[in-house]
Chain A
């Protein structure tokens, strides 16, 4: 009998460790990677000939990043690695991929989804101006291209990435003008109960904050974004600064030429949705996530999720989850797996789960902001749909949930398919209809998961 075909989607920490575990069992997994090089977002590599050291690129995670890159290099001869390959759909136990404008359909016996996460966005007036980036985008510019988003950036949002990115900019020689955090000292204290489960990571965060302060970067807690200000010069619209309210409600203004913005992360769940996996509402993160057991098995036979794509547990958690999902997959395929190893990985993940709850408590998604956004605030930037449009869908057009609002006013209908605006759009809709957020639902996924060139050719044509 032929060896079973296992596809791993994603080559970040979860996908890499999953592939490694499968290869160790004698399989030759197919690893699909949208990126040009393995590493995912967190351990994204700089192009060849770029020479910034890992310690500056990845901060305290430099060792983990280097170890993961090396593990992958060792693994390469034993896997079928397909970089720059988009998994854009599924049909009949096949993953549809696109590489270089060619389509292929790959049959699989098992599928491990390790698709990671993106920044979670709470819009504010002005967030679509040129010069406003997500925190992840600001970080990628630095890591992958050694470019800064501006000479005087302001970082706004909440969560650990806010401080990591600000620190990375500082280390690259670009001093942030301010770090504006919507979380309060009070919520952070509450979050400590979970955060203390990973003292080393907590200490890292404190270190980033301390170094930023020592360098003279103002860190503000409990802020409320008011708007990102624009200036119009000969080069067109640009960021002029950020207007915000401090924790006492006083109006403040910080001058800057770019903004990095993000409020924690959101999982990339479209493949699991296309595969008709069961989803459940997660009240801690206020997101709909695939239902999995402790090992990452979904409701669909032979389909597993690992890493931030199934709930945010960070890079270290993703490595353990990737290995664990692969072991579960191997066991389901009839391989014998080490129960000790399974137990060890499960145990390693326990503090990650508590830590994640601490993060969501300490640096919560400021969902209440959605209700008070001015009507003219753009929510869906692809389709230029405003908060007022969504409120009209909620009101006179009587849309009871997000897909109906999408049908009426196009929220989530553009290039990103609601990946960026879906969560905030749901919050605006739920607030306008005064209903619990879970009733607003989630945007149904459809192929292609990401834009697909029309000039595609392949097996079928």
Chain B
């Protein structure tokens, strides 16, 4: 295990700024490819959005061109015990999306067709077949779309486990190291921290989530990124009966709730309206009334939910772009600079795949996973004719 750096300058092949699941997984896979790695995390690895999200390992419903990345990630989720030595409570118990309105059901049916070429096979259950297959659901579900190989995992464990595995593999993982300045010399990026440490590397990856916008802007690349706080909560534990993740497929934001039961018995839930965030204090300004607003919709999909009690709520800080797609891939302006941030509240499932794909880019400059839709170049201001 390599120890944290205390001398004033350290050099590596790549510096990764941000120890969420994207940065931690990239550090791990970059080490697998033989690169020397320094991972700088302002607080503790996986403490913000990566540690506080819902824990969905879901492919269905994703932007179709993102499915190759999501498929790669899903394969890695199943392989975590071999790769990083623990399973981080990954349960491939399936994922159900339920619709109550005909137009929402039509969308589910269309998606089930469209995702087939990407290798994602979904099962559709209409009308009473839905509740026959999933008896915990409300009897008036119009359509249930089941993705049998998706599932869920424990977000509090995943990113720290990648961080520890990266460290065991020889990466320098520096926690409580807040980056204060980044400059570029002829060969290297020079990254300085608030407590006076200095790191240099020819390659730099920004994986600082909602804080990524400011760092990209320092390299002349502007993008719209709004920080938001999801409303998460958990019930008291009850016997483990609900195996798949269940999501309410509605295009009304407030109705868009989801839930999963962990083996311990608690039902974790989230969705609906999001709260605002103060990026400076690093705290979500959670509005507990959004919790109250979630309740009727959770009961709508799972009638027995109303018999439980809520024991805890929390939130995290997520970055949302205008088109709801992440920023991932090389910088459009600066050679050697890479981005993986702004995953718009759907990054957890992608984490391992993003790590492996970014490691491809860092080691070889290319990857087989199509990343064009996620390029930061899409936000570049149009050049005047």
Binding site for B on A (CB under 8 A): 88-91, 96, 103, 105, 383, 397-398, 400, 404, 407-408, 410, 413-415, 417, 446-448, 451-458, 460-461
Question: Are B298 and A454 closer than 8 Å at their CB atoms?
Answer: yes
Question: Are A460 and B289 closer than 8 Å at their CB atoms?
Answer: yes
In whole angstroms, what is the CA distance A457 to B299 when docked?
12
> What number of B residues sit within 8 Å (CB to CB) of A?
32
Question: Are B51 and A454 closer than 8 Å at their CB atoms?
Answer: no
Q: Does B291 contact A (CB under 8 A)?
A: yes
Q: Does B181 contact A (CB under 8 A)?
A: no
Question: Are B156 and A456 closer than 8 Å at their CB atoms?
Answer: no
Question: Are A446 and B313 closer than 8 Å at their CB atoms?
Answer: yes
Contacting residues, chain B, for A397 (C-beta < 8 A):
160, 164
Q: Does B102 contact A (CB under 8 A)?
A: no
Q: Does B288 contact A (CB under 8 A)?
A: yes
Interface-located stretch among B12-20, B25-33, B304-312: B304-312
Q: Does B186 contact A (CB under 8 A)?
A: no
Q: How far is the CB of A71 from chain B (nearest CB, A)?
A: 34
8 Å CB contact of A96 from B160, B289, B305, B310 = B289
Q: Which 3 A-B pairs have the closest CB atoms?
A: A89-B288, A451-B309, A407-B156
Contacting residues, chain B, for A452 (C-beta < 8 A):
309-310
Q: Does B236 contact A (CB under 8 A)?
A: yes
Contacting residues, chain B, for A458 (C-beta < 8 A):
292
Nearest A residue to B51 via CB reads: A407
Nearest A residue to B283 via CB reads: A276
Q: Does B157 contact A (CB under 8 A)?
A: yes
Question: Are A415 and B311 closer than 8 Å at their CB atoms?
Answer: yes
Contacting residues, chain A, for B226 (C-beta < 8 A):
none
Question: Are B310 and A460 closer than 8 Å at their CB atoms?
Answer: no
In whole angstroms, what is the CA distance A105 to B296 when docked?
18
Question: Are B314 and A451 closer than 8 Å at their CB atoms?
Answer: no
Contacting residues, chain B, for A407 (C-beta < 8 A):
51, 156
Instruction: Take A407-B156, A446-B313 as given contacts and tell me if A460 and B292 are in contact as well, using a CB distance cutoff of 8 Å.
Output: yes
Q: Does B120 contact A (CB under 8 A)?
A: no
Question: Are A414 and B311 closer than 8 Å at their CB atoms?
Answer: yes
Beyond known contacts A397-B160, A408-B156: 9 more, CB 8 A cutoff? A88-B288, A90-B288, A96-B288, A451-B236, A451-B310, A453-B308, A454-B306, A454-B308, A460-B292
Instruction: Take A96-B289, A455-B307, A458-B292 as given contacts and tell me if A448 and B313 are in contact as well, using a CB distance cutoff of 8 Å.
Output: yes
Contacting residues, chain B, for A451 (C-beta < 8 A):
236, 309-311
Question: Are B156 and A453 closer than 8 Å at their CB atoms?
Answer: no
Nearest B residue to A98 via CB reads: B292
Nearest A residue to B315 via CB reads: A446
28 pairs from A and B in contact (CB 8 Å cutoff): A90-B288, A91-B289, A103-B292, A105-B289, A397-B164, A400-B44, A404-B44, A407-B156, A408-B156, A408-B160, A414-B311, A415-B311, A417-B312, A447-B288, A447-B313, A448-B288, A448-B291, A448-B313, A451-B311, A453-B310, A454-B235, A454-B295, A454-B299, A454-B306, A454-B308, A455-B295, A457-B292, A460-B293
Nearest A residue to B269 via CB reads: A454
Q: Does B287 contact A (CB under 8 A)?
A: yes
8 Å CB contact of B295 from A90, A408, A457 = A457
Q: How far is the CB of B282 from chain A (nearest CB, A)?
A: 13
In whole angstroms, what is the CA distance A458 to B288 when docked?
13
Q: How far is the CB of A459 from chain B (nearest CB, A)?
A: 8
Question: Are A456 and B311 closer than 8 Å at their CB atoms?
Answer: no
Nearest B residue to A417 via CB reads: B312
The residue in A96, A400, A460 that gathers the most chain B C-beta atoms within 10 A of its C-beta is A460
Contacting residues, chain A, for B299 (C-beta < 8 A):
454-455
Question: Are A446 and B312 closer than 8 Å at their CB atoms?
Answer: yes
In whole angstroms, what is the CA distance A454 to B266 when docked?
13
Question: Are B311 and A461 closer than 8 Å at their CB atoms?
Answer: no
Contacting residues, chain B, for A410 (C-beta < 8 A):
264
Contacting residues, chain A, for B287 (C-beta < 8 A):
91
Contacting residues, chain A, for B288 (C-beta < 8 A):
88-91, 96, 447-448
Instruction: Take A414-B311, A448-B313, A451-B236 as given contacts and tell me if A461 and B292 are in contact as well, using a CB distance cutoff of 8 Å.
Output: yes
Q: How far is the CB of A300 from chain B (nearest CB, A)?
A: 15
In whole angstroms, what is the CA distance A90 to B237 when docked?
25
In whole angstroms, what is the CA distance A26 to B269 when docked?
45
In whole angstroms, what is the CA distance A447 to B47 when docked?
19
